[in-house]
Amino acid sequence: MKTYLMIMVSSVLAENFVLTKFLGCCPFLGVSKKLKTAVGMSAAVIFVMVLATAATHPISEYLLKPDYEYLTTLVFILVIAALVQLVETVMKRFMRPLYKSLGIYLPLITTNCAVLGVTLLVVESGRSYGEALVNSLGAGLGFMLAMVIFAGIRERLESSEVPKALQGLPISLISAALVSLAFLGFQGLAEGLFG
Give the DSSP per-residue string, 3-37: HHHHHHHIIIIIT-TTTTS--SHHHHHHSTTSHHH
Contact 91, 98 (CB under 8 A): yes
d(Cα 179, Cα 177) in Å, to the nearest integer?
6
Its pTM stands at: 0.86
Q: What is the pLDDT of residues 7-24, one digit of tens each?
A: 998 899 888 888 888 888
Query: Over the chain, what is the mean pLDDT?
Result: 87
- Give me the pLDDT at residue 195, please: 56
Nearest to 125 by CA among 46, 11, 43: 11
Contact 20, 184 (CB under 8 A): yes
- Give me the pLDDT at residue 83, please: 87
Question: H or E segment at 70?
Answer: none
- Give me the pLDDT at residue 190, please: 59
Between 121 and 188, the more confident residue is 121
The radius of gyration computed from the CA coordinates of the chain, to the nearest angstrom, equals 17
- Give me the pLDDT at residue 50, please: 93
Percent of residues, the chain, with pLDDT higher than 70: 96
Q: What is the pLDDT of residues 74-127, one digit of tens each?
A: 999 999 988 888 888 888 899 888 888 777 777 777 777 888 999 999 988 889
Other C-beta atoms closer than 10 Å to the C-beta of 106 total 23
> Mean pLDDT throughout 19-39?
84
d(Cα 98, Cα 39) in Å, to the nearest integer?
10
By CB atoms closer than 10 A (0-12, 13-18, 19+), residue 139 is buried
> Mean pLDDT throughout 53-58?
93
**Domain ranges in the chain?**
30-151
Half-sphere exposure of 179 (CA within 13 A, CB side): 26
- Give me the pLDDT at residue 33, please: 83
- Give me the pLDDT at residue 191, please: 62
